[in-house]
């Protein structure tokens, strides 16, 4: 993904070749980047899932909930983090303009006024008032590309800043989607708790009537009361979790704490289709990976610029103007042109230390790029596995829930008919509640895995994206 440009280009000019050889002799060979920065995708990270249907670019709309789409739009419009990222882009853009301006001539003008006395040929002094307007031009020839390389570094840093903003956008959208899925899962947990509590209340009523009539002992009544209160505490716990989740989403939306609108239920949220194969190059759309790549490019160009600063620098200067004075019958035109060569002779190792520091920064960026790439492959593999395994878990838990629901019906009928003890019905009730809550969590985990996969792939994809990957 990243290739170092050759330090010296071929030139037909003997003078340019001589300068290149002189520069190489003065500053030594260019430090190469660490060899361990090469990253190859894992050979088996592709996983055949889905039907290969295309996905829209605004990937959060693939869940089919207009409320979720509106929440993401609000968060992207009101996020202070995006505002801060935009300000950093403006700063990087100004730095890039400044670096480009360093390569252009500098033109300045001055018009100083003077007063004094003049002596005529006959020795008679007289007062004189004059002015010397002048225009001066200075230009750095940049023989060894110091300014050009600094401009390229600033440009790459600008691209890295834009990628950082995209990273923030992707993170905000993913956080809102994950938070909304969690909120809908908490809503469903609250519904399960209330349904179970109603069933427990009915069981407690029957147990109390049977105990009062003498058909059962007070032990079954106390067990029914304990089970009712155990379920009762689930309701305020779920309500507290919902309030906290709504406040967290309000913060992402840039609003004060308050209720969050609801759309589709957890079971109604669509499961997006995933293409059968996603190429490894598609990961280059990840903004954090692109940011690391451009940061590496910027540090590499900064290294070359720091090395070029150790070579002689040739600057051209010129000025032209006129002398206007009351002591002169006609104005006098004056001009000057010259060149200056600035070369470090002894700086105590300052420039060498700056070049070594630039080399170290380049190496740090190279290792950071490798770490980011490896992290990207891991996140994609984890997300694909999460989508697949959490779906299998949800199917198994749905079967368990159905079986336990049937067991509870049988245990309730046998208990009312007097063929089994109350403990059998109690065990079936506990197992069914646990299975229903686990099923809600598994479905939420599966949808969250989809969000994580979208984030790992840098945002939405389509079949065309899988065929041709371009930045």
Q: What is the CATH number of the domain that holds 75?
A: 1.20.1600.10
Spatial distance between the Cα atoms of 175 and 250, rounded to a whole number of angstroms: 12
Q: Which of 401, 411, 410 is nearest to 434 (CA)?
A: 401
Residue 145 placed within a domain: no
Distances 208 to 205, 280, 422 between C-alpha atoms, Å = 5, 65, 13
Q: What is the pLDDT of residue 59?
A: 81
Reported for 336-343, long-range contacts at CB under 8 A and 24+ positions apart, including other chains, are: 339/314, 339/315, 340/314, 340/315, 341/312, 341/313, 341/314, 341/315, 342/312, 342/313, 342/315, 343/311, 343/312, 343/313
Continuous H helices in 326-421: 350-417
Tokens of 431: 């197992």
The answer to whether the beta carbons of residues 182 and 269 sit under 8 Å apart is no
Q: What is the pLDDT of residue 394?
A: 92
Q: What is the pLDDT of residue 363?
A: 86
Residue 379 placed within a domain: yes
Q: What is the pLDDT of residue 244?
A: 95
Spatial distance between the Cα atoms of 408 and 231, rounded to a whole number of angstroms: 16
Residue 109 placed within a domain: no
Q: What is the pLDDT of residue 101?
A: 81
Residue 360 placed within a domain: yes
Residues of the chain with pLDDT under 50: 1-25, 44-56, 469-471
Spatial distance between the Cα atoms of 223 and 230, rounded to a whole number of angstroms: 10
181: containing domain: 36-80+172-310+350-467
Q: What is the pLDDT of residue 218?
A: 82
Residue 102 placed within a domain: no
Give the global pTM: 0.76
Residue 425 placed within a domain: yes
Residue 137 placed within a domain: no
The total number of structural domains in the chain stands at: 1
Tell me the per-residue pLDDT of 241-286, one tens digit each, with 9 for 90 and over: 999 999 999 998 888 898 999 999 998 998 887 766 566 666 777 8
Q: Which of 79, 77, 71 is nearest to 246 (CA)?
A: 71
């Amino acid at each position: 993904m990243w290739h170092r440009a050759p330090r010296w280009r071929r030139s037909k000019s003997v003078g340019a070749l001589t300068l290149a050889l002189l520069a190489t002799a003065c500053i030594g060979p260019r430090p190469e980047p660490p060899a361990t920065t090469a990253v190859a995708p894992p050979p088996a990270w592709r996983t055949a899932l889905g039907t290969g249907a295309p996905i829209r670019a605004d990937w959060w709309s693939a869940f089919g909930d207009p409320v979720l789409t509106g929440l993401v739009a609000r968060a992207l419009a009101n996020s202070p983090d995006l505002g801060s990222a935009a300000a950093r882009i403006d700063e990087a853009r100004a730095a890039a303009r400044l670096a480009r301006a360093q390569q252009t001539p500098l033109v300045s003008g001055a018009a100083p006024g003077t007063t004094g006395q003049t002596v005529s040929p006959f020795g008679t002094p007289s007062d004189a008032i004059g002015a010397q307007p002048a225009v001066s031009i200075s230009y750095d020839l940049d023989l060894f590309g110091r300014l050009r390389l600094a401009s390229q570094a600033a440009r790459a840093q600008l691209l890295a800043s834009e990628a950082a903003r995209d990273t923030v956008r992707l993170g905000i959208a993913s956080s809102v989607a994950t938070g909304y899925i969690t909120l809908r899962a908490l809503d469903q947990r609250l519904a399960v708790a209330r349904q179970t509590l109603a069933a427990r209340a009915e069981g407690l009523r029957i147990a109390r009537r049977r105990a009062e009539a003498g058909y059962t002992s007070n032990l079954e009544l106390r067990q029914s009361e304990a089970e009712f209160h155990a379920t009762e505490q689930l309701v305020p716990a779920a309500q507290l979790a919902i309030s906290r989740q709504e406040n967290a989403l309000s913060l992402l939306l840039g609003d004060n704490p308050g209720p969050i609108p609801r759309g589709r239920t957890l079971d109604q949220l669509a499961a997006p289709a995933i293409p059968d194969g996603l190429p490894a190059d598609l990961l280059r759309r990840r903004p954090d990976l692109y940011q690391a790549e451009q940061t590496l490019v910027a540090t590499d160009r900064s290294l070359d610029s720091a090395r070029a600063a150790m070579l002689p620098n040739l600057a051209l200067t010129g000025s032209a103007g006129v002398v206007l004075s009351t002591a002169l019958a006609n104005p006098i035109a004056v001009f000057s042109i010259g060149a200056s060569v600035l070369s470090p002779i002894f700086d105590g190792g300052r420039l060498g230390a700056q070049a070594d520091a630039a080399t170290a920064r380049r190496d740090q960026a190279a290792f950071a790029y490798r770490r980011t790439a490896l992290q990207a492959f891991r996140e994609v593999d984890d997300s694909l596995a999460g989508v697949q395994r959490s779906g299998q878990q949800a199917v198994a838990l749905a079967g368990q829930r159905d079986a336990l629901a049937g067991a509870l019906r049988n245990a309730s009928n046998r208990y009312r008919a007097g063929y089994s003890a109350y403990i059998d019905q109690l065990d079936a009730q506990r197992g069914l509640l646990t299975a229903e809550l686990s099923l809600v969590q598994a479905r939420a985990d599966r949808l969250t895995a989809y969000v994580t996969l979208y984030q790992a792939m840098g945002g939405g994809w389509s079949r065309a994206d899988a065929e041709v990957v371009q930045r």
